[in-house]
Amino acid sequence: MSDFSQWPLRAELLEALTSQGMTVPTPIQQAALADILAGRDVLAQAKTGSGKTLAFALGLLQGLKSPSGVQALVLCPTRELADQVTQAIRKVAVRLPNVKVSAFYGGIPVRVHVESLVHEPAIVVGTPGRILELIETGALKLEAMNTLVLDEADRMLDMGFEPAIQAIRKGLPANYQTLLFSATFPDAVRALSKSYQRDPLEILLDTDTRSEHIEQLFFEVPANRKNDALLQLLGQLQPAQALVFCNTKIDCQNVEQHLAKAGFDVCALHGDLEQRDRDEAMVRFQNASVRVLVATDVAARGLDVSNLPLVFSYELAHQADVHVHRVGRTGRAGKDGQALALVASGEMARVKAIEEQMGMTARWQRLDLSSIKLAPLKAEWKTLVIDAGRKDKLRPGDILGALTAKQAIDGKAVGKIALFDTRSYVALHKSVADRALQLLRQDKIKGRSFRVRLLSP
């Protein structure tokens, strides 16, 4: 029996949790759910990967009173995170088919969002800037709102969203529940809670950011040998996947190109890319059709990869708490992880700050760069793109059905299917990718033909 049944959750939610194998609440869920469900304000700090999203998603879905009218607003710092939260809510809402959850953020014409709001969602997720814009244009109406969620509050403050959040609050009705989630707990978050929340339940977990599951190692490497060091370490360790953090977009591009040239299946993720390319990079990393993702901290924020064995700092972050976030991307859900950092002589002061913040002494390891042995990480999967998505009423089952009809392709060779409004991404085992492409070009999906192509490599 599911431990989630200790709360009076709707049967549809319990069923969804059970069918997705989520039967044991994480510590933050255990600590917060009763009060979230009771409508109390909650201030919750727990490290990245601890299951904060599900904690508030269950509260929002349980609290819905009617299928229409915006009843909950979730503010997130980045578009990627907004998408991820939206997907997480939809996933647990699968058995509540009439509940619409929508994401709104910049980079997409406001007009598109205004039009989509004609059919009001029950739950709105978005970045503060765009949400404010939609309130101001009158497209987003929040009179029926019961719950405000501030997700990754620490990061929203870092990104300067406080004035936008403040302005959004001015347009909200008098009484609503405020749920505030944060991975860290600096004074600014405490102050935010003080001014926005009424007698909140405070939950502070893992104030100790060390994790026994994560092995952290530092390598002193001259700045001009970092690319070689990266090739050497990835080749030696052969991780299933790795997330490489850079401090700048330029570094991201250079490192990606360097790895691609060496034969790695790799993608870059940073703020200079078009939204579409950012989506694609995320999807390809999540469906394992790239083995290495090279990203800036902001772009990788909220990226949820449950089984990430290795994170890399190509350069140490300038702030210790950013480093802590990087390290927290691995070793999630009790799995083992490694966090490696390449440190040039100019970065030594940052090591000190990290040691202080994390309450540990850095473990240094030697790296022999006299000869570089190339062993590029190649993916076993490819990504196929279909130029049609949710707006075309496409569902994952339609795509799977078209591929596996008449046993053309073994269902096991079809991986993750990710649906966006106007595009869909399908992971395919390399051995069947070309066949799948031909198949979808010849035959149709639900009787309609769409443009399809494979992403290189």
Nearer to ligand ADP, 26 or 178 (CB): 26
Contact 425, 413 (CB under 8 A): no
Nearer to ligand ADP, 96 or 144 (CB): 96
- Binding pattern for the stretch 16-55 against Mg ion, x by CB under 5 A and - elsewhere: ------------------------------------xx--
Nearer to ligand ADP, 183 or 394 (CB): 183
Residue of 175, 224, 306, 371 that binds ligand ADP (CB under 6 A): 306
Residue 284 interacting with Mg ion (CB under 5 A): no
Peptide bond into 396 cis (omega under 30): no
Residue of 38, 112, 191, 333 that binds ligand ADP (CB under 6 A): 333
Residue 304 interacting with ligand ADP (CB under 6 A): yes
Give the Cα separation of 306 and 316 in Å (integer): 23
Contacted entry of ligand ADP, Mg ion, none for residue 26, CB cut-off 5 to 8 Å set by kind: ligand ADP
Residue of 9, 14, 32, 49 that binds ligand ADP (CB under 6 A): 49
Nearest to 395 by CA among 412, 427, 420, 428: 420
Nearer to Mg ion, 53 or 147 (CB): 53
Residue of 32, 42, 53, 403 that binds ligand ADP (CB under 6 A): 53
Number of residues interacting with ligand ADP: please give it, by CB under 6 A. Answer: 16
Contacted entry of ligand ADP, Mg ion, none for residue 128, CB cut-off 5 to 8 Å set by kind: none
Residue 329 interacting with Mg ion (CB under 5 A): no
Contacted entry of Mg ion, ligand ADP, none for residue 424, CB cut-off 5 to 8 Å set by kind: none
Residue span binding ligand ADP (CB under 6 A) among the ranges 48-56, 235-243, 371-379, 415-423:
48-56
User: Which token pair is 291?
Assistant: 């083995």
Nearer to ligand ADP, 29 or 289 (CB): 29
Strands lying side by side in the sheet with 452-454: 414-419, 424-429, 381-386, 452-454
Taking the complex as a whole, how short is the minimal distance between the CB of residue 203 and Mg ion, in angstroms?
14
Residue 52 interacting with ligand ADP (CB under 6 A): yes
Contacted entry of Mg ion, ligand ADP, none for residue 306, CB cut-off 5 to 8 Å set by kind: ligand ADP
Nearest to 300 by CA among 321, 322, 319, 316: 322
Nearer to ligand ADP, 226 or 329 (CB): 329
Taking the complex as a whole, how short is the minimal distance between the CB of residue 5 and ligand ADP, in angstroms?
13
Residue 54 interacting with ligand ADP (CB under 6 A): yes
Token pair 């360097």 is found at 258
Taking the complex as a whole, how short is the minimal distance between the CB of residue 27 and ligand ADP, in angstroms?
10
Residue 50 interacting with ligand ADP (CB under 6 A): yes
- Binding pattern for the stretch 9-28 against ligand ADP, x by CB under 6 A and - elsewhere: -------------x-xxx--
Nearer to ligand ADP, 147 or 232 (CB): 147
Taking the complex as a whole, how short is the minimal distance between the CB of residue 10 and Mg ion, in angstroms?
23
Nearer to ligand ADP, 26 or 241 (CB): 26
In three-state form (DSSP H/G/I as H, E/B as E, the rest C), the secondary structure along the chain is CCHHHHCCCCHHHHHHHHHCCCCCCCHHHHHHHHHHHCCCCEEEECCCCCCHHHHHHHHHHHHCCCCCCCCEEEECCCHHHHHHHHHHHHHHCCCCCCCCEEEECCCCCHHHHHHHCCCCCCEEEECHHHHHHHHHCCCCCCCCCCEEEECCHHHHHHCCCHHHHHHHHHCCCCCCEEEEEECCCCHHHHHHHHHHCCCCEEEECCCCCCCCCEEEEEEECCHHHHHHHHHHHHHHHCCCCEEEEECCHHHHHHHHHHHHHCCCCEEEECCCCCHHHHHHHHHHHHCCCCCEEEEEHHHHCCCCCCCCCEEEECCCCCCHHHHHHHHCCCCHHHCCEEEEEEECHHHHHHHHHHHHHHCCCCCECCCCCCCCCCCCCCCCEEEEEECCCHHHCCCHHHHHHHHHHHHCCCHHHEEEEEECCCCEEEEEEHHHHHHHHHHHHHCCECCECCCEEECCC
In three-state form (DSSP H/G/I as H, E/B as E, the rest C), the secondary structure along 303-360 is CCCCCCCEEEECCCCCCHHHHHHHHCCCCHHHCCEEEEEEECHHHHHHHHHHHHHHCC
Taking the complex as a whole, how short is the minimal distance between the CB of residue 179 and Mg ion, in angstroms?
12
Contacted entry of Mg ion, ligand ADP, none for residue 241, CB cut-off 5 to 8 Å set by kind: none
Taking the complex as a whole, how short is the minimal distance between the CB of residue 338 and ligand ADP, in angstroms?
19
Nearer to ligand ADP, 97 or 334 (CB): 334
- Binding pattern for the stretch 25-44 against ligand ADP, x by CB under 6 A and - elsewhere: xx--x---------------
Near ligand ADP in 116-145, by CB under 6 A: none
> Can you give the binding site for ligand ADP, defined by CB under 6 A?
22, 24-26, 29, 46, 48-54, 304, 306, 333
> Can you give the binding site for Mg ion, defined by CB under 5 A?
52-53
